[in-house]
Structure 1
Amino acid sequence: MKALTWQGNQNVEVTDVPDPTIEQPTDAVIKVTSTAICGSDLHLYGVLGPYLKPGDVLGHEAMGVVEEVGSEVTHIKPGDRVVVPFNIACGHCWMCERKLFAQCETTQVVSEGKGASLFGYTALYGSVPGGQSEYLRVPQGQFGPIKVPDGTPDEQFLFLSDVLPTAWQAVAYADPPPGGTVAVFGLGPIGQMCVRIAKYLGAGRVIGIDSVPERLALADRYGAEPLDLSKVDDISEALIAITDGRGADATIDAVGMEAHGGAPGGKLASIAQKATGLLPDPVAQKVTDKMAVDRIDALLGAIKGVRRGGTVSISGVYGGEVDPLPMMEMFDRGIQLRMGQAHVRRWTDDILPLVLDPADPLGTLDLTTHQLPLADAPGAYEMFRDKNDGCIKVVLKP
């Protein structure tokens, strides 16, 4: 089959790889009909290369039609249309019983000290082949896949794999008071959905922060007050100034370690990230996991722009362990932090009725800006990374 494979730093290719097969009685195999490029894929494209090897299949947002199931998979059958959550969870272990599916003890990558395995996401998370491919083997198929009805566009359901539950969890963790103010840092796909979900769940005011005109315009269309990073000297001061001098009730960091801030620390961290990619893999792995410094402009803005006693919710992915945080200020101001990989299946029952609603209250059909064949994936990665052509979300069609 054809699949998008990692070949080196900022080098991906569509190549031939072996077709997946049923390996365990809990497996399923699907024929992929749509698969998306995520901001987290850009981490693999440019930062986390030391944990990849040439030929690894990328992608963790996929849906399709069931081809085959193992003997212990009973809730879906060949011919069913399904969405596949990006984290691989069993549904019955100690963590899963507590709906902490991103920490599933059955699929935890204990050797790397990490949580549940993820599709297409490096040796840190199990080296499971990803979904930017014609076919996908789905471990823990007895629990993970979400059955959806036929006869509607894939884009109505595809984002149940990651974008929607990640954004839903980000807003739930932010927990703004009814009618309160939420500031969303970063208006990529996750940030866009955070804006819409926050409004849907009762936020009185949502402020969307970015510097890309197309992203600001899209968030504005769904009720956000756009705040252009390029037009302010200090984003946290600007945010405080427009919130009665207090700051937002809650802030959401939907950016992560790929923040393109202009602060000196951001530039230095960008250089450090690129330099790490030039080290031999065993050395680079240790540097990335234990010593790497992320670009944390968005996180610092979220921390400094939230009001006293407010909550900072982090959905953006970070990679290092030595990122400096203003702990004295955080403690003095009584800030709460909540974060982590989305527990996808924890939220899908809440989201599915909204996705099924013909009125499309979350605008799922309005998020995709580019549909391209899988063969065009290498160029699509560059376009998404560089934010060219008004690109906000790319869906690939194998």
Structure 2
Amino acid sequence: MKAVTWRGINEIGVEDVPEPRILNGGDIVLEVGLSATCGSDLHLVGGYVPAMRAGDVLGHEFMGTVAEVGPDVTKHRVGDRVVVVSFISCGKCWYCLQGLYSLCDNGNPNPGITEALWGQAIGGCFGYSHALGGWAGSHARYVRVPYADQGAFTVPDDVSDERALFASDAAPTGWTGAHQAGVRPGDVVAVWGAGGVGQMAARAAMLMGAERVVVVDRYANRLEQVRTHVGAETLDYEQVDVAAELREATGGRGPDVCIEAVGMEAHTPGAQHVYDQVKQQLRLQTDRLAAVRDAVHACRKGGTVFTLGVFGGLVDKFPLGAVMNKGLTLRGAQQHGHRYVPEILERMSRGEVRTEHLATHVMSLDDGPEGYRMFKEKEDGCVRAVFRPGA
């Protein structure tokens, strides 16, 4: 079957790969309906995430139709339309029972790599390197889904494919950030990054009762999406002093919660960006954390900063003194989507969460390399390139 694959640093290909099959009783094989690019994919493309191999199938945000079920699957039948959480979790280990699904002990069959990086292994993720399990990704006609009773969710009839697609990763990642950061009614929340995840973090914060939500970015089309489809306020960090604007909006205190939704390739104006980029490319640090630094400095004393963007390892000039002296709570996580997807699908059905606007460019698998190029370069206002394998 045809699939979009990683061929090397900054090299994406389209090639034939073997069709997946049922290997364990809890598996399903899914005929992919839609599969989206994600900002974290760009870290793979750029070579900043280790353990990629030529020929690895990319993609971790997807939905489709059940084509085959294993003998132990009880919740799904052939023909069901489902959305699949990007992280692979067994549902039975200690971490899954605590609702910490991305920390699953059994979702990653290659735990040694992340144990060496971080001290302990986290769960697995579709199409996200052999460090997170080596699972084949979703930019293909078919994909094998393990632990399907845990990670696949039936899509309501009144939710379109284009809306359901982003219940796989962008929306539950945003929900993870807002919920784990402890957003409460009356809070002022600032979100750095107006991509799909940042927009969904902002929407989640609004639905959790935040009084004001402000999204920070530099791309006019993404900020317009925030205002039109999410309903949050926006700031262009290249046009205004973000910290000053946030203090002005909060009586001089700063936001109660700051959510960073950018990740390891963050941009910042001026010489600091060049310094961070050179150090990253020389592998003197693995990540650029400009957005995290801004969030830490902007957050009110005693507030919470949540790192929702993907980071891989070591950073330079982390403002630990600000975290300690301001009494901040600093948290982070990959998404615990299994606990949030049912609520998200229900809110999608009621029209409270809309995501179709994120799919700015829908194309076939043959256009995979071009889709990733447009997505990376933000060409033609590309917010997400989405592939339709059946096209």
- Whether TM exceeds 0.5 here: the answer is yes
Aligned residue in 1 for 2:122: 115
Aligned residue in 2 for 1:325: 318
Give the deviation of 1:29 after TM superposition. 0.5
- Counting matched residue pairs gives 381
Aligned residue in 1 for 2:118: none
Give the deviation of 1:178 after TM superposition. 1.5
CA contact (8 A) 1:269 1:293 kept: no
Q: In structure 1, the residue corresponding to 2:24 is in which secondary structure?
A: coil
- 1:371 aligned onto 2:362: yes
From the superposition, tell whether residues 386 and 137 of structure 1 become closer, same or farther in structure 2 (CA, over 3 Å).
same
From the superposition, tell whether residues 216 and 151 of structure 1 become closer, same or farther in structure 2 (CA, over 3 Å).
closer
Kindly report which structure 2 residues correspond to 1:189-208, keeping only aligned pairs within 5 A, or say none: 189-208=196-215
Give the deviation of 1:158 after TM superposition. 1.1
Q: In structure 2, the residue corresponding to 1:51 is in which secondary structure?
A: coil
Aligned residue in 1 for 2:65: 65
From the superposition, tell whether residues 66 and 186 of structure 1 become closer, same or farther in structure 2 (CA, over 3 Å).
same
Q: In structure 2, the residue corresponding to 1:389 is in which secondary structure?
A: helix
What CA distance in whole angstroms lies between the structure 2 residues aligned with 1:36 and 1:322?
29
> Structure 1 regions of 5+ residues with no counterpart?
277-290
Give the deviation of 1:242 after TM superposition. 3.5
What CA distance in whole angstroms lies between the structure 1 residues aligned with 2:203 and 2:290?
24
CA contact (8 A) 1:292 1:319 kept: no
Question: What amino acid maps onto 1:224 in structure 2?
Answer: A
Q: In structure 2, the residue corresponding to 1:92 is in which secondary structure?
A: coil
Q: In structure 2, the residue corresponding to 1:301 is in which secondary structure?
A: helix
What CA distance in whole angstroms lies between the structure 2 residues aligned with 1:266 and 1:389?
24
Aligned residue in 2 for 1:213: 220
What CA distance in whole angstroms lies between the structure 2 residues aligned with 1:36 and 1:75?
25
Q: In structure 1, the residue corresponding to 2:143 is in which secondary structure?
A: strand
Q: In structure 2, the residue corresponding to 1:321 is in which secondary structure?
A: coil
Match of 2:237 among 203, 212, 229: 229
Kindly report which structure 2 residues correspond to 1:153-168, keeping only aligned pairs within 5 A, or say none: 153-168=160-175
Give the deviation of 1:201 after TM superposition. 1.9
Aligned residue in 2 for 1:380: 371
Give the deviation of 1:150 after TM superposition. 4.4
Aligned residue in 2 for 1:281: none
Post-superposition Cα deviations, 1:305-325, rounded to whole Å, max 9, x if no partner, equal 010011111110111224432
Q: In structure 2, the residue corresponding to 1:143 is in which secondary structure?
A: helix
Q: In structure 2, the residue corresponding to 1:146 is in which secondary structure?
A: strand
Greater mean deviation of Cα atoms: 150-159 or 11-20 = 150-159
What CA distance in whole angstroms lies between the structure 1 residues aligned with 2:333 and 2:220?
29
Q: In structure 2, the residue corresponding to 1:78 is in which secondary structure?
A: coil
TM value normalised by structure 1: 0.91
Kindly report which structure 2 residues correspond to 1:54-133, keeping only aligned pairs within 5 A, or say none: 54-108=54-108, 109-112=110-113, 113=115, 114-133=121-140
Greater mean deviation of Cα atoms: 305-314 or 198-207 = 198-207
CA contact (8 A) 2:22 2:69 kept: yes
Q: In structure 2, the residue corresponding to 1:32 is in which secondary structure?
A: strand
What CA distance in whole angstroms lies between the structure 2 residues aligned with 1:135 and 1:363?
26
Percent identity of the aligned residues? Answer: 41
CA contact (8 A) 1:81 1:148 kept: yes
Aligned Cα RMSD in Å?
1.7
Aligned residue in 2 for 1:171: 178
What CA distance in whole angstroms lies between the structure 2 residues aligned with 1:180 and 1:89?
32
Match of 1:314 among 307, 313, 327: 307
